[in-house]
Amino acid sequence: MKSQFRHIALIGKTHATLVGSALSASRQVMDKLTHFLHDQGCDVAIERETAAHLGMSGHQELDVKGIGADCDLALVVGGDGTMLGFGRQLAPYGVPLIGINQGRLGFITDIPLDKIEATLRPMLQGEYTEDRRSLLHAKVMRDDRCVFDAQALNDVVVNRGGTSGMVELRIEVDGHFVATQRADGLIISTPTGSTAYALSAGGPLLYPSLRGWLMVPIAPHTLSNRPLVLADPGEIVIELVSGRDASANFDMQSLASLLPGDRILVRRSQHHALFLHPRGWSYFDTLRKKLHWNEGVA
């Protein structure tokens, strides 16, 4: 059977730490995927920065805008960070993504390298499960002027400076005052991000399809400040009351420096990331495997 996808983009890691044997291994995976996809009757494009970093010439090269306009599927080879970055960028175009795990944990890149062809073949023929993930849209406001605007698939995090003390934050949800708290920071997380920084800070896990967010304090001064599960709020406002060298991070991939009085406005993005998983995929299977549940149980 021929693939249901006509034009497929290949995306890989492009960061500078990918050198030597790791760079060679990534190039081999990309070459293998290119040949495999051609055999399935697909046209293949390489994301432009990926092609430059891996030295892959002789293929069609497209930037993110070109992938959004011309491709009907993107295969992302890397870790969750790579998947997060391109999931955000491709969300406005509605291009689905399949994650191939060349990283460590792999909560959202769930195809192992040694099972690429066996797993992809039925998926390309329509045997897959769709998984829509919500995004956050955040703005940093300073004197009623937007100084930073970003989207996040995992979380928006307000952090104290590396050498400074706690920050003091005033929090509102849908216009209602919640609290003024002193802490190392605050995490606003999507269900996707509930297995990331929010989990490390003591937050609960949220099923990916839930229309809700997490609000998780980071090392709060008052221990009764606990994580909250919010039922799809319209807007969260976080005001930096005090604190030196504070910052707002978006998926830990973009950053804005904050000044006292700055307000971070967090709303639901109008876009969704669309992931495709192998037929029979289960979120609970992922949790058991990645979090090592039931180890030692017969």
Query: Which are the catalytic amino acids?
Result: 80
Cβ-count burial of 108 within 10 angstroms (0-12 exposed, 13-18 middle, 19+ buried)?
A: buried
Backbone angles phi, psi at 188, to 5 degrees: -110, 115
Place of tokens 């952090």: 159
Neighbouring C-alpha atoms within 13 Å toward the C-beta of 159: 19
> Taking Cα atoms as reference points, which of 76, 49, 78 lies closest to residue 61?
49
Helix (H) or strand (E) holding 9: strand 7-12
Cα(220)–Cα(214) distance, integer angstroms? 16
Cα(261)–Cα(241) distance, integer angstroms? 6
